[in-house]
Every structure is written in structure tokens, then in C-alpha cells.
């Protein structure tokens, strides 16, 4: 009885020790794996721009690697040893990269997925968590951020008017002929349905002919923008032009919207006719409305 009990006691006591050992081994393996991957990431960093390299990854005769974009920056000389950088590719390192998975660069903004090395860049170009660019037209503003941050930025830095409501009525006046030719309406932001919209008005040329265009952009993703519609109307002297459309996401730059003529397009001669007077002064009233499309419930 005693020997049997002793054996049973030893077995029961020994199992937690092996379980603890397994857990410790798993932690060690994970730590070593992370350390190994960290070392690989360092190998894949370009020594010039310090970003991850993608094919073609070039190498000098001594085996030092460089991304193809930086070859001209170093005048085709290896930044490590000074040897000439030819067109030799480091195929081994390119193959190793295929085995890696990397987190999205916008992890801190909410994207927690990992992606194969060569798929990461493609994902990041369209990641829904990537920050938005400042939508202010006519400036080289490089500020990016989330929508609430950009709204505050537009108000504080660009002195943009913020309005609540889904309807608007703007009067636009330019008395200087030069301003008439290069008219750019200061951006206006409207808040309705818990979202923000940007109203634009600016001059452009279609061929040699001068035009104006007014359009609305949605401060959010395109999938959300498609849930809304808007209308614009402009007129004077018993004449009017109307436009109805879907707001574009601010992911699309305002120049892209202009080039696509996706808005209320007004020939300058007609705009001046609407304005009355001596055809040298712009006096336009733009009215509009934003509404949310009803969702069709399907059984």
C-alpha cells in the first residue's frame, strides 16, 4: 500500500513541474522568435532611409544591402563600404521577407491585424484606420489626423467657419476682377447627422474656358459618404442652375473632384450674368441641402 501510494504521490507532485516547464519553454520560444524577427527586421531596413526594403533589394559586392529608391541618393555607391552598387539583387533576403508577418503601421490608431511582408504596403494604402489629410484647399497643409482633430485644426489654424444644420445659404462676393478670375471660397464645414461635411467653391479652367465649381466632401470614409446626398442651387435674374449628387470622401483630394467635374459646374460668363452689374463683379448666392438616404430593408 505504501509503495503504491508513494508512486501515486510522486506522479501527482511531478505533473505541475512539467506543466510549469512547458509554460516557461513556450515563453522562451516566443521571446526568441520575437528577437529573431527583430533581427530580420533590422536586416531588412535600408541603411539610408531606415525604412523596410521591398524588391528589388540591391546588394554591393561585399553583400551590403540597399533599397532601390536610395541607389541614386548615394550616387550608386554603397553607404557602408563605398563599393559601386550595381544591379545585383539580394534574392536570399527577398525570400526571407516572404516568411515574415508585420503589424500595420496604424496599429496605434486601431488596426490590430498582421500582414505578410509584401502585402503590408498595399493594405496600408487603404487601411481604414490611416489618418486623414487636412481638407483645406489652396494650401500645402501637411497636417493629418482623425476627424475630430482635423475639425479643431480647421477652426483654429485655417479660421474655417463651422455650422450646424443640413441646409445652407451662402452669399459669395468678389469685386476685384483679379479675385473674380482666381476665386476660391474659404472652406466651410457643416455638422449634421453626427457627421461633418466640407463645402468648396473655386475657379478652374476647362481647356481655355474659365469655370467655377462648387461641391461637397464628406469627412470620413467613402462607404459612409455614399449614405448621404446633397443638392446645390445657384442663380439670379430669373435663372438658376441646380446640382444633386453624392458627397465625395476627403480621401479624394479636392483637385481630383475638380478634374472629375463632380459638382455644380458654372461657366464664368453665366456666373457673371447671375451676378448682374457690369460683368466684372461676382455676386453669387449658393443654397444647398444635405440629407441621409433611407436604407432599403430587404426580407
pLDDT tens string 23-56 = 343 333 333 334 445 667 788 899 999 988 988 9
pTM of the model: 0.69
Q: CA-CA distance, 56 to 183, in Å (whole number)?
A: 46
- In degrees, to the nearest 5, what angle opens at C-alpha 166 toward C-alphas 165 and 167? 100
pLDDT at 148: 94
Percent of the chain scoring above 70 in pLDDT? 82
Other CB atoms within a 10 A radius of the CB of residue 132 amount to 18
Q: Is 242 helix (H, G, I), strand (E, B) or coil?
A: strand
Report yes or no: 263 and 249 within 8 Å, Cβ to Cβ: no
- pLDDT beneath 70, residues of the chain: 1-39, 137-139, 177, 277-279, 295-299
30: Cβ contacts below 8 Å, ≥ 6 apart: none
Q: What are phi and psi of 233, to 5 degrees?
A: -140, 135
pLDDT at 139: 60
Amino acid at each position: 500500500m505504501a509503495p503504491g501510494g508513494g508512486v501515486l504521490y510522486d506522479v501527482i507532485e511531478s505533473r505541475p513541474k512539467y506543466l510549469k516547464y512547458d509554460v516557461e519553454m513556450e515563453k522562451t520560444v516566443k521571446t526568441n522568435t520575437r528577437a529573431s524577427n527583430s533581427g530580420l527586421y533590422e536586416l531588412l531596413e535600408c541603411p539610408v532611409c531606415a525604412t523596410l526594403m521591398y524588391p528589388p533589394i540591391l546588394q554591393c559586392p561585399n553583400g551590403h544591402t540597399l533599397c532601390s529608391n536610395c541607389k541614386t541618393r548615394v550616387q550608386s555607391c554603397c553607404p557602408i563600404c563605398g563599393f559601386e552598387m550595381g544591379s545585383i539583387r539580394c534574392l536570399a533576403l527577398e525570400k526571407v521577407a516572404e516568411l515574415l508577418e508585420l503589424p500595420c503601421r496604424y496599429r496605434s490608431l486601431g488596426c490590430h491585424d498582421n500582414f505578410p511582408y509584401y502585402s503590408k504596403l498595399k493594405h496600408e494604402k487603404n487601411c481604414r484606420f490611416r489618418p486623414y489629410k487636412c481638407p483645406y484647399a489652396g494650401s500645402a497643409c501637411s497636417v493629418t489626423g482623425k476627424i475630430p482633430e482635423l475639425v479643431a485644426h480647421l477652426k483654429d489654424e485655417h479660421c474655417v467657419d463651422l455650422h450646424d444644420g443640413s441646409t445652407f445659404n451662402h452669399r459669395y462676393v468678389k469685386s476685384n476682377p483679379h479675385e473674380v478670375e482666381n476665386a476660391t471660397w474659404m472652406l466651410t464645414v457643416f455638422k449634421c447627422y453626427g457627421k461633418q461635411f466640407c463645402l468648396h467653391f473655386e475657379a478652374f479652367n476647362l481647356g481655355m474656358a474659365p469655370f467655377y465649381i462648387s461641391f461637397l466632401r464628406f469627412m470620413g470614409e467613402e462607404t459612409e459618404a455614399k449614405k448621404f446626398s446633397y443638392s446645390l442651387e445657384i442663380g439670379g435674374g430669373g435663372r438658376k442652375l441646380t446640382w444633386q449628387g453624392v458627397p465625395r470622401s476627403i480621401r479624394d483630394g479636392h483637385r481630383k473632384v475638380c478634374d472629375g467635374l463632380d459638382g455644380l459646374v458654372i461657366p464664368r460668363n453665366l456666373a457673371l450674368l447671375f451676378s448682374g452689374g457690369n460683368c466684372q463683379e461676382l455676386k453669387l448666392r449658393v443654397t444647398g441641402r444635405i440629407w441621409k438616404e433611407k436604407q432599403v430593408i430587404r426580407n
